[in-house]
């Protein structure tokens, strides 16, 4: 039992938290009748927070996500599958 080494990765945890946050934003946009993909892409390209609804605090949440890190995670996810 003790010969297995557990690994800890802050980066993995950060990506999981980013995904969780992005899903909350996605759901808020969908619930308000927006196309979540188009709105999130608009935000990523322009960094204009008005692409994101204030519903469920989504606009505030998106500001806590670093766009460069988000783009890296998205490309990494797309390439790996």
Span 54-81, pLDDT tens digits:
999 999 999 999 999 999 989 988 898 6
Whole-prediction pTM: 0.81
Confidence of residue 10 (pLDDT cuts 50, 70, 90): low
| pLDDT recorded at residue 12 | 77
CA torsion angle 40 43 46 47 (round to 10)? -140
If one compares 24 and 13, the residue with the highest pLDDT of the two is 24
Average pLDDT, the chain: 89
Side-chain half-sphere exposure of 6, counting CA atoms within 13 A: 3
If one compares 80 and 43, the residue with the highest pLDDT of the two is 43
| Separation of alpha carbons 59 and 53, rounded Å | 6
Write the DSSP symbol of residue 35. -
């Amino acid at each position: 039992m003790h010969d297995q080494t557990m690994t800890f990765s802050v980066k993995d945890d950060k990506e999981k938290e980013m995904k969780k946050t992005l899903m909350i934003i996605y759901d808020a946009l969908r619930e308000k009748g927006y196309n979540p993909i188009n709105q999130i892409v608009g935000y990523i390209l322009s960094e204009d927070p008005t692409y994101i609804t204030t519903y469920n605090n989504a606009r505030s949440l998106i500001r806590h996500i670093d766009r460069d890190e988000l783009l890296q995670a998205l490309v990494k996810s797309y390439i790996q599958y």
